[in-house]
Structure 1
């Protein structure tokens, strides 16, 4: 099957490379010339523009977007719209907000175009291990794209599936990432508690290795945490600053809209915010309040 990849950053380039290795013909566009050159070295035919990419693909055209959520996706979708013809399909494999996806899918449907949202998990390991894909869109359209999903997945019948109509793929991936926030926070806190029990002199990498086999807390995230502890036991050179890319916020918003209690995911998001405050006014006020009501000592800067 032939398709175009829009966005040749690390993940997009890796997905395109996996498709090429699986026997698909892939053309790609990225505004970065170096990214196009690197992709070409891995068998991806480069296009100098979105217009050139659309012209290079046979009808019905399939284009896979791997670009950042928000304005960049909107700009790409809007630029492609007049370049496509009835029967063509765009797959958004990025982490778009599902509400934006619903709007874009409706726009494309009005022009006889397919719009499929594919929540994609696998990160930098996807090239080797395959990608987990949660797909939303018209059932017939998704079925026609089966060869692509089977190639990208860990196995033809594992790790992917159509979960519902347009928007449902990105919605499912949003919640997936919210769960990920909570799991990562729990591992981080647990290992921190172990590290602070200094009199035991615990080897955190050893503990992680023990937990990786047979334990009820074993997971791929634990594998990654253990590997990281083996490489850098004290996390030297790493700032205690944790970013978020939006999915955790959207998950919490959805929980509030649906009146669903989600304290673990919500608190894990709050902890990420907390990590960015290196001059916490709130903590200073807390210290002052303890002094005001109880005469407790205040630690000076």
Structure 2
């Protein structure tokens, strides 16, 4: 299936590679040429667009254009350019971490042009290039049905996808997912912090590996704990200054307040991350070090080291 992938960061580049490996007809675009050249060296079949406007003649109608760009101004600027070149029935997909209210407005704007818009929450981190992406889809239902061959490829072998409704529904589901993720990471960090300070000399990696064998706390994130501890058993080289990659958990908390739903665990985990930016005591805690190491393990996010 023919598709253009715009934005070749950690996620976008791996998604483009996954599609190319499955013999899709992929056109790529990125603001910096080095990323496009890397993929071109690996896949002679890839097409490179030198500009957004090039997509008008490089893609067959109906065009499928998928963005993997930072939420906010960067995404909006490219969508504004896309709006100038698309035709009726084309499909535009925003796979970034967009605010669901922005996605709702974009869906309505493109719908007025009779262009089909999808907002897709993409999860799984960098490891999903191999394990498969979980994809939370919202927007135009006919576009969802049309791009299923693409979703099938991206989800293989262990990921998945589903449609949750019109407009910003997919990004809403992803927003909630990311808030829950904050709580899980905070809990793991705090638990291993207590273990590391206990009156016993626990082998933390051994604990994590056993917990992964069918316990109630086993799962994807505990696998990442194992990855982190295998590299640095006491996280002695990690500085617990936790990065803030996107605003989704902030939006989660704001949404919960709008709905009058208490979300104390997630709200406090968000505040903890904010405080870690300046609080040296937090930065030295095992909790913050673990959260930083987890972000690096599953998302490839930069972690400060001593």
TM-score, structure 2 as length reference: 0.88
Equivalent residue, structure 1, for 2:268: 267
Q: CA deviation at 1:55?
A: 2.1
**Quick one: which of 46, 67, 70 aligns to 1:68?**
70
Deviations 1:84-109 (A, max 9, x none): 11111100001000011011111111
State the distance in 2 between where 1:155 and 1:35 align.
Answer: 26
Gaps of 5+ in 1: 281-301
**1:217 and 2:217 are equivalent in the alignment:** yes
CA distance in 1, matches of 2:65, 2:236: 42
Match of 2:42, SS state, is coil
TM-score (norm: length of structure 1) = 0.90
- How is 1:82-121 mapped onto 2 (pairs within 5 angstroms)? 82-121=84-123
> Superposition pairs for residues 197-276 of structure 1, below 5 Å?
197=198, 199-244=199-244, 245-276=246-277
Residue 155 of structure 1 deviates from its aligned partner by 4.3
1:109-152 per-position Cα deviation (integer Å, ceiling 9, x unaligned): 11110110100001111211110000001222210111111111
CA distance in 2, matches of 1:250, 1:233: 34
SS of 1:237 mapped into structure 2: coil
- Tell me if 1:163 matches 2:138: no
Gaps of 5+ in 2: 282-306
Query: Where does structure 1 differ by over 6 angstroms across 4 or more consecutive aligned residues?
Result: none
Deviations 1:169-228 (A, max 9, x none): 00000000000000000000000000011x310010000001000211001100101121
Larger Cα-atom Rg: 1
SS state at 1:265 partner: helix
The match for 1:299 is none
Write the distance in 2 (CA, Å) between the matches of 1:25 and 1:36. Answer: 15
8 Å CA contact retained: 1:109, 1:115: yes
> Are residues 1:151 and 2:153 paired?
yes
Partner of 1:123: 125
**Alignment RMSD (CA, Å):** 1.4
Higher relative contact order (CA 8 A, sep 6+): 2
SS at match of 1:242: coil
